[in-house]
Structure 1
Amino acid sequence: MKITVINTGGTFNKRYNPLKGELEVPKDNIALDEIIESCFNIDFEIKNIISKDSLEITNEDREFLYETIKDSSNENIIIVHGTDTVDITSRFLDDKKLNKKIVLTGAMVPMSIKKVEATLNFAQAIGFLNAQIENGVYISMHGCVINHEKLSKNREIGQFLVSN
């Protein structure tokens, strides 16, 4: 199986910069590379295109993301995205009616601080794409991969929950 992974940044990728004294989104794929090195049966194509916290992603960035997906010959897409606006980007992509299987994922805690959540969310997305699923836009977070309209971030408890 071939999966195109589009890395837009987000908390998933953040690392502490000791010179600035803050977490920042790097312009590399170190977090992804660490997970992918353990996947032996998948051909990954990695595209690092935005490198922003999701609160900084604009509609122009979303349009660039859409064009990147549209131009990809692959129908299996994972997007690493920040959790704060993953719902906005999911709706944006769903409205474009792409004929692809698109799974957005991210993490509430940077992989550089705690590896489990980011790894789980990304691994779920891989497994989901290996199943017989319909084309559409999905979110992979906190033990669930589901249509983007049915998963939302509960900011009071810091978790993604399935809505009825």
Structure 2
Amino acid sequence: MEEILILQMGGTIDKDYPKTKAGYSFEVGEPAVRRILTRLRPSRSIITKIETVCRKDSQDITDEDRSDLLEKVSGASQSRLVVTHGTDTLIETATFLASGLRERGVTAKTIVFTGSFSPEKFRDTDADFNVGVALGGVQAASPGVWVAMNGILLAWDRVDRDDTGQFVPRRRSYAVTV
């Protein structure tokens, strides 16, 4: 089985609330996915490596951070990657990555973005579920950039957020000409 590279960008999934710092009441800590994997106990055939790109709230992620992610993904020896990311700008970063990979001609990688609406450290978090879907999705999906949230796996350009903030299939709009 091929190694899966998991890249941390930060976001709610990695939030910790130890003290007030820099105007926030949280810090983005160590990759939560390490703790999640001990609970999920994935198949022994799933080999993972975890690296950090940045540790930021997704609203603070810049195009420079996205470029760092693009570099890491483009240069990775692995062809299957999971990116943990905050939900507020997850689709924006997935779009940036898909565009950058296309411009570079990188077509043989499967990248799945995921995150959570509540921190992994919270009792009723969705983090374990979303990471589980992402790990299954990255092994089953064809090459490209995908989003695994709320029990769905959708291509980056076929996912939206509805008025409740949930990730949902993008509605198609059809132009009617008369």
TM-score in same-fold range (> 0.5): yes
Displacement of 1:43 in angstroms is: 0.9
Answer whether contact 2:13 2:115 (CA < 8 A) is retained.
yes
- Tell me the CA shift for residue 147 of structure 1: 0.4
- State the match for 2:71 in structure 1: 67
1:136 maps to 144
- Distance in 2, Cα, partners of 1:65 & 1:152: 22
What does residue 160 of structure 1 align with?
167
Task: Give, as a single letter, the amino acid of the residue that structure 2 aligns with 1:23.
Answer: F
Equivalent position SS for 1:48: strand
Of stretches 65-74 and 36-45 in structure 1, the one that deviates more from structure 2 is 36-45
Corresponding pairs, count: 160
Shift of 1:23: 2.1
Q: Which runs of 4+ in 1 moved over 2 A?
A: 18-21
Cα RMSD for the two superposed structures: 1.6
Structure 1 length as normaliser, TM-score? 0.91
Gaps of 5+ in 1: none
Deviations 1:138-160 (A, max 9, x none): 00000101101111122x31311
Distance 2:135 2:64 in 1: 27
Alpha-carbon distance between aligned partners in 2 of 1:141 and 1:119, rounded to the nearest angstrom: 11
Q: 1:111 aligns to what? A: 120
Q: Per residue, is there more strand in 1 or in 2?
A: 1
Q: CA deviation at 1:41?
A: 2.5
1:22 match: 25
Matched residues in 2 for 1:19 and 1:90: separation? 30
Instruction: State how far apart, in whole Å, the 1-side matches of 2:93 and 2:69 are.
Output: 9
Q: What 5-or-longer segments of structure 2 have no aligned partner? A: 172-178
